Structure formats: structure tokens, C-alpha cells
Amino acid sequence: MSNPNIRTKVGNLELKNPVILASGTSGYGYELEKYIDLNQIGGFISKGIYYDPRPGNESPRIYETPCGMLNAIGLQGIGVKRFKEEIIPFWEKYDTLFGVNVAGESEDEYLKVVEYLEPEKRIDFFEINLSCPNVQAGGKSPSWDPEKTHSIIRGIKSISEKHIMAKLSPNVTYIEEIAKAAEEGGANSLSLVNTFVGMSVDIETRKPHIKNVFGGVSGPAIKPMALALVHKVFKTVSIPVVGIGGIVSAEDVLEFVIAGASAVQIGTATIIDPQSALKIIKKLSLLMNKLSYDKIEDLIGSLKTGG
């Protein structure tokens, strides 16, 4: 049995395998320390960080739905100062790739977060969460607007030398336009998708199951839609794409890679089983052997259409 090569690259980021832990589903990393060895995963992305600490939304904030879940955590976070003092020293113990998920209520706040954390060598890349409601824009998210997307990414690129991954929302009519705007703003890669807007109703109380009424849907329920969006974006841009949405198995990873993803992120699967990522990585080599695939990089975007 040969040993397939599962190393991959996302621009200048070199990953020992294509599996990254997605933002918001693995905390800051130390929460998973007793379940998995972080050195064995391809990369890790923190919960979204605003400049100041935030309490998040009122409970109930999560609810299980068929083949998935709804969440409206409201980007609860510890803020940049505590992040630097408490989390960076923890990350320094590991040699996996670490990304910070950057959040902002305004364009300025995204820049302030990046500016504060830019000197930290242990941060390998910034993932820009463009789905945050923008207070100045009446709650609209920058990820719905190509101009805002372009402007935020361009602003960040002008103050950061790190790899910038722009995270796109699926809640748009024409994702290709937003993807192009991020690429033209200077993004080094794109990650997609964030959660789909959803809701659920308790028919006895007639109240929403989520206090915030609307939440984000994640998990296997969103996989086919996420896969389609990844493929559309892959066909549109020339920077690498990182696939996210409902991945729970090695088979799912290969589907996303064949559709065009250079790497993937795993979110809800970690909430179901904190060891999911490691199990998926182990299975990936076995699966590639079974399918006689030698190298994951050869499969990226290898989808055969027509004929």
C-alpha cells in the first residue's frame, strides 16, 4: 500500500493536510487540547475577533435542525488584547498553521483588529469574516456588496503582509461578483461558505427556537449548496479557494477538492465529535489509496464535466 501525498498549498500557506478547523466551532484551540493533537491538523482558525470583547447574543443561541444546526452566537469574543495575551502563547506550542478570523462592525474596526495583531509572528494568516453586520450600514453585511468587500480587503492588504483569506457568505444572488471583488481587492485566497440564513419555530409557544429569530444554518444540510458555490467561484477566480459547508467525512473532502477547493474547513462536525477532523484526515489517506489517487494536489478542480 502506498502512502498518498495529502500535503497541499493555499497560496503561500503550506498545509500538511487539507483539513482546517473552521472559525467558531473550535474556540481558540485550547478547548480541544484534551481531544486532539493540533499538530496533526492542516490548520486552525480562531473564533471571530472584534477589537473589544463582546458578550454575543442572548440564549437560546443554537438549535438542532434536520442534518444540521442553527446558530446565532452573535460573534461573542474576548477582544484583541486578551487574544494576544492569552491565546498567542498557547498557539506558540504548536507548529500547525494558525489563522485569526477577523470581525468588524465597521471598515475601521476590521483594520484596527488587523493592525493590532499584525506584529504577531505566530499568526500565519487572517481570515476576514465579511458576514458581520455593519452598524454604519444599517446592519448590512459587507459580504453582500462587491464595493464594500473590495474596499475592506484592499484596506487590510495595505496594512498587512500576512496571507489574507476572504470568507464569503452564501446569502447573495451572485457570489461570483463578490468573489471577484475580493480577488481584485488583493485577497490571497477565498474561503466559502459561511452559514445560510435560517429559522425554526416552536409550534406550541409560536416562538422562534432561536432568541435572535434568525440564525445561520450549518452542517450536512448545506453541503450540496456549498459545493455548488465553491465550484462556481473556482471557475471565476484565479486565487485558491477553501471549501466549507457540511463536511463530515473523507469522501466529502474529496468532493470539495475535485470541485475546486485547495483545502477545506470543518465546522459543525467538530461540535458533534471533537475528534472528527483527525478521523477524517486518517480516512483520507485510506480512501485515496482505495481510489488509486497519489496526490491530493492533482485532484484540485479535476471535475470532469460533459462527455
Q: Which residues are catalytic?
A: 132
The region of 12-20, 27-35, 135-143, 260-268 touching ligand FMN under the rule CB under 6 A is: 260-268
Backbone angles phi, psi at 248, to 5 degrees: -130, 0
- The DSSP output letter for 83 is I
Residue with cell 435572535: 212
CB 266 within 8 A of CB 20: yes
Question: Which is it for strands 163-167 and 189-192: parallel, antiparallel or unpaired?
Answer: parallel
Check binding of 73 to ligand FMN (CB under 6 A): yes
Check binding of 48 to ligand FMN (CB under 6 A): yes
User: 143: which 3 cell numbers?
Assistant: 459580504
In the bound complex, what is the minimum distance in angstroms from residue 246's beta carbon to ligand FMN? 4
The region of 150-158, 172-180, 207-215, 266-274 touching ligand FMN under the rule CB under 6 A is: 266-274
Rg of the Cα trace of the chain?
18
User: 175: which 3 cell numbers?
Assistant: 457570489
The region of 26-34, 172-180, 216-224, 294-302 touching ligand FMN under the rule CB under 6 A is: 216-224
Residue with cell 452573535: 74
In the window 53-72, what residues touch ligand FMN (CB under 6 A)?
71
Of 273, 251, 275, give the one whose Cα is nearest residue 264: 251
Q: Residue 61 is which amino acid?
A: R
Out of 166, 246, 254, 277, name the contact with ligand FMN by CB under 6 A. 246
Out of 8, 15, 19, 24, name the contact with ligand FMN by CB under 6 A. 24
In the window 118-147, what residues touch ligand FMN (CB under 6 A)?
129
Out of 29, 47, 120, 210, name the contact with ligand FMN by CB under 6 A. 47
Check binding of 23 to ligand FMN (CB under 6 A): yes
CB 73 within 8 A of CB 216: no
In the bound complex, what is the minimum distance in angstroms from residue 1's beta carbon to ligand FMN? 30
| Apex 268 CA angle, 132 and 55, nearest 5 | 45
What's the rounded Cα separation, in Å, for the pair 121 and 85? Answer: 14
In the bound complex, what is the minimum distance in angstroms from residue 219's beta carbon to ligand FMN? 5
User: 260: which 3 cell numbers?
Assistant: 475546486
Cα distances (Å, whole numbers) of residue 71 to 155, 206, 212, 215, 286? 30, 19, 9, 5, 33
Check binding of 229 to ligand FMN (CB under 6 A): no
In the bound complex, what is the minimum distance in angstroms from residue 292's beta carbon to ligand FMN? 28
The region of 32-40, 105-113, 153-161, 218-226 touching ligand FMN under the rule CB under 6 A is: 218-226
Give the x-and-dash track for 275-294 against ligand FMN (CB under 6 A). Answer: --------------------
Out of 6, 19, 20, 22, name the contact with ligand FMN by CB under 6 A. 22
Check binding of 244 to ligand FMN (CB under 6 A): yes
CB 44 within 8 A of CB 98: yes
In the bound complex, what is the minimum distance in angstroms from residue 119's beta carbon to ligand FMN? 23
Residue with cell 503582509: 161
Neighbouring CB atoms inside 10 A of 109's CB total 19
Classify 275 as helix, strand or coil: coil
Name the site residues for ligand FMN (rule: CB under 6 A). 22-25, 47-48, 71, 73, 75, 101, 129, 167, 194-195, 218-219, 222, 244-247, 266-269
